[in-house]
Structure 1
Amino acid sequence: MNQKTLSHDDLRAAPKVVLHEHLDGGVRPQTLIEIADEIGHELPATEAGALADWFFESADSGTLARYLETFDHTIAVSQKADHCFRIASEAAQDLAADGVVYAELRYAPEQQLRGGLALEEVVEATLAGFAEGERLAAAAGHRITARTILCGMRHADRTLEVAKLATAYRDKGVVGFDIAGGEIGNPAEAHLPAFEYLRRENMPFTIHAGESVGPESIWGAVSVCGANRIGHGVQLIKDIDLSGDEAKLSHLAHYIRDRRIALEVCPSSNLQTEGAESIETHPIKDLYDLGFRVTVNNDNRLMSRTHTSREFQLLSETFGWGWAEVKRCTENAVKAAFLHQPERRRLLEEVVRPAYAALEASA
């Protein structure tokens, strides 16, 4: 392990891949203020810095339920086509400026219908925004490919409808499906018809599981529903006995590692929702060391006051991670991406590996 802490500037220059990024969790504070003023929505603060502080402090309460309440404001400003377009464009640009070269951004279009938009109009405006964000990022010297995962809300009953929406736009920028919202009391198995439909249609999907509920949530997502990836998944550590000289894995843990089912880990977010007690005791290190396909993600940049370079810097400072670990997590993310195999190969061989070879050589 490289004990030299990687600097933020070093990490920002490195190509990174993000698989777990909520679009409505990364809205710029100033954009929130401007759109809220336009539509007459009251915010808890009207200065960008103070508003950013409010989101972080509210999300830092220690419970997933309180964390999710902060989305009331970001969803409120995402009800018109031009606002959906703007938010998507800015998200792609902001990620690209941080060195992210590929991102899968997820959102729940069913939450954006209050202004009279149809589900299809939400998706089309957002996809157009991502395309514009890619163009503007490239013009600024930061290339990014932005793709979409559509979410159904796990406490609602529209998951099958949204799953069909995802397949309708699969060749237009939508690459997968997910269920989002409060995990407690809302098991993934309750939405089995949506997942059975997606499997029949050969559409990949990830499922939020093992964030605030234990390994039984992951078992339902993987063993019952057939998830290709797991959103968060940090509670899997409870199914691994680390007390002896050699780790003892449950059948579920073996299956996830053996089948290379990626874990979309979001360190800072996990601290806020009590998915981990501290960064020092966060299970990401043990899961990484045991050979799980660990990826590093932001979850919600606004609520966690973070970005991908910061997440890796935090892990470098805490666990001594160097370029080898950052590279492996990035390659894991490329391999687990919901892109077609030739696109994954090009991203890996033409972008990621050459860049990290140069970084490792100069370290």
Structure 2
Amino acid sequence: MHSHHAASPSAEHIRRAPKVLLHDHLDGGLRPATIVELAAAVGYGNLPTTDPEALGDWFREAADSGSLERYLETFAHTCAVMQTREALVRVAAECAEDLAADGVVYAEIRYAPEQHLEAGLTLDEVVVAVNEGFRLGERNAAEAGHRIKVGALLTAMRHAARSLEIAELANRYRDQGVAGFDIAGAEAGHPPTRHLDAFEYLQRENFHFTIHAGEAFGLPSIWEAVQWCGADRLGHGVRIIDDITVKDDGTVELGRLAAYVRDKRIPLEMCPTSNLQTGAADSYGDHPIGLLRKLYFRVTVNTDNRLMSGTSMSREFEHLAEAFGYGLDDMQWFTVNAMKSAFLPFDERLAMINEVIKPGYAALRSEWLFAQS
């Protein structure tokens, strides 16, 4: 008979366990069938195939190819069908429904409003449409018996010059469904310090932001995001491992930046499958998340791009359970970390932890123990 800890939880338990998602791109999570329908509706004729299943495979393979050009091309297709109010409402609603069906109880979904202006929408109209879609998705999920709350994160692109404008936009809608701000795009040659005016503005406004850092690019990008820009959270942050030394006798030494990130409980939005695709890690077992969890960094588990990575929160946890032997206790630890790190008022975070997350895991644990006996 397996002990409570020895066996990994079943896929069904993992799916039903309450989960929290902080790093997920709206344009990286569309349903293939929806892409096909929207492309037909708006007359977009550049899809590699109009067979939904084959299209899903194409997205995963293109993202897996190791070619950055092909990887970026995948987003050109999703963005192309996300230019109208109707499309944005639908995609956002389906995002909330898909996450809820996978057991996600709270999610922050990010997107770059500046990438949805090709058909004449204004930045404000984009934000209003996506927020409307999330509310619709929450209602549809509730009717299907799944409770989810979704907040939007507005992303500015590193290589563009609109970051202050997007930060102001985020702050304008902070009480209408926008939870915070993010900066994304190629790290190399586009340091976050270029956008200091946006971060300083958000700090003056007492608003939240996360920065994509330490994914491909090393420690300098994490140091800048934390020390120059004052990031509340780090998008990815995998390369913090470069400041940690594991000695031959197994003792671990933290460099000053790693120690600071751990001491200050700066949340790391880790996306294991995505990191394997971009070459930031070689395998699930070699992913820094294992060591960082052991060292009690504020680690969270995320999907990044569910379509391109062919993943979901449940799949990420299945991979980690297989690689590191994680059980429900570990899942709860990661989930509570994520909820503590959410861009939500403190009382709401606490309520989610105490009324939704902990009771959810307690119920699954007793079910699990009963099944073992």
TM-score category of the 2 structures, normalised to the smaller one: over 0.9
SS of equivalent to 2:234:
strand
Per-residue displacement from partner, 1:154-212 (whole Å, max 9, x unpaired)? 11000000000000000001010001111222111111110011111111100000110
Give 1:35's aligned amino acid.
Answer: L
Structure 2 counterpart of 1:281, from 262, 281, 286: 286
SS of equivalent to 1:19:
strand
Contact 1:61 1:273 in 2 (8 A): no
Give how far 1:273 is off. Answer: 0.6
Q: Distance in 2 between matches of 1:360 and 1:63?
A: 43
Give how far 1:324 is off. Answer: 1.1
Residue 327 of structure 1 corresponds to which residue in structure 2? 332
Asked if residue 173 in structure 1 is aligned to residue 177 in structure 2, the reply is yes
Q: Distance in 1 between matches of 2:94 and 2:363?
A: 30
Q: Distance in 2 between matches of 1:328 and 1:237?
A: 20
Q: Distance in 2 between matches of 1:68 and 1:125?
A: 24
Asked if residue 221 in structure 1 is aligned to residue 228 in structure 2, the reply is no
User: Which residues in structure 2 correspond to 1:155-170 (within 5 Å)?
Assistant: 155-170=159-174
Asked if residue 267 in structure 1 is aligned to residue 267 in structure 2, the reply is no
Per-residue displacement from partner, 1:212-241 (whole Å, max 9, x unpaired)? 001111001001100000000111101100
Asked if residue 183 in structure 1 is aligned to residue 187 in structure 2, the reply is yes
Give how far 1:39 is off. Answer: 1.5
Residue 140 of structure 1 corresponds to which residue in structure 2? 144
Give how far 1:69 is off. Answer: 2.8
Give 1:195's aligned amino acid.
Answer: F
Asked if residue 54 in structure 1 is aligned to residue 58 in structure 2, the reply is yes
Residue 206 of structure 2 corresponds to which residue in structure 1? 202
Out of 104-113 and 349-358, give the one that drifted further.
Answer: 349-358
Give 2:324's aligned amino acid.
Answer: F
Q: Distance in 2 between matches of 1:191 and 1:250?
A: 27
Q: Distance in 2 between matches of 1:317 and 1:299?
A: 20
Structure 2 counterpart of 1:2, from 5, 13, 16: 5
Q: Distance in 2 between matches of 1:14 and 1:178?
A: 28
Per-residue displacement from partner, 1:125-168 (whole Å, max 9, x unpaired)? 00000000000000000110011000000110000000000000
Structure 2 counterpart of 1:84, from 68, 80, 88: 88
Contact 1:63 1:274 in 2 (8 A): no
Asked if residue 297 in structure 1 is aligned to residue 302 in structure 2, the reply is yes
Give 1:331's aligned amino acid.
Answer: V
Give 2:111's aligned amino acid.
Answer: Y
- The unaligned stretches of length 5 or more in structure 2 are 369-373
Residue 152 of structure 1 corresponds to which residue in structure 2? 156
SS of equivalent to 2:8:
coil
SS of equivalent to 1:70:
helix
SS of equivalent to 2:134:
helix
Residue 25 of structure 2 corresponds to which residue in structure 1? 22
SS of equivalent to 2:206:
coil
Give how far 1:242 is off. Answer: 1.0
User: Which residues in structure 2 correspond to 1:59-70 (within 5 Å)?
Assistant: 59-62=63-66, 66-70=70-74
Structure 2 counterpart of 1:362, from 338, 360, 367: 367
Contact 1:20 1:297 in 2 (8 A): yes
Give 1:12's aligned amino acid.
Answer: R
Residue 247 of structure 2 corresponds to which residue in structure 1? 243
> What is the aligned-residue identity percentage?
57
Q: Distance in 2 between matches of 1:214 and 1:61?
A: 23
Task: Please give the root-mean-square deviation of Cα atoms over the aligned residues, in Å.
Answer: 1.1
Q: Distance in 2 between matches of 1:310 and 1:93?
A: 17
Residue 313 of structure 1 corresponds to which residue in structure 2? 318
Q: Distance in 1 between matches of 2:167 and 2:242?
A: 31
Asked if residue 347 in structure 1 is aligned to residue 356 in structure 2, the reply is no
Give 2:278's aligned amino acid.
Answer: T
Give how far 1:54 is off. Answer: 0.4
Residue 13 of structure 1 corresponds to which residue in structure 2? 16
Q: Distance in 2 between matches of 1:246 and 1:61?
A: 37
Q: Distance in 2 between matches of 1:247 and 1:65?
A: 38
Per-residue displacement from partner, 1:36-73 (whole Å, max 9, x unpaired)? 11122120111011000000000012355542331000
CA separation of 1:188 and 1:66: change in aligned 2, threshold 3 A: farther
Give how far 1:359 is off. Answer: 2.1
Per-residue displacement from partner, 1:285-318 (whole Å, max 9, x unpaired)? 0011011011000000000001000100110011
- TM-score w.r.t. the length of structure 1 is 0.98
Give 1:306's aligned amino acid.
Answer: T
Q: Distance in 2 between matches of 1:184 and 1:115?
A: 31
SS of equivalent to 1:304:
coil
Residue 371 of structure 2 corresponds to which residue in structure 1? none
Residue 120 of structure 1 corresponds to which residue in structure 2? 124
Give 1:322's aligned amino acid.
Answer: G
Asked if residue 73 in structure 1 is aligned to residue 105 in structure 2, the reply is no
Residue 104 of structure 2 corresponds to which residue in structure 1? 100
Out of 349-358 and 225-234, give the one that drifted further.
Answer: 349-358
- The unaligned stretches of length 5 or more in structure 1 are none
CA separation of 1:181 and 1:19: change in aligned 2, threshold 3 A: same
Give how far 1:264 is off. Answer: 0.4
Asked if residue 31 in structure 1 is aligned to residue 69 in structure 2, the reply is no
Contact 1:210 1:217 in 2 (8 A): yes
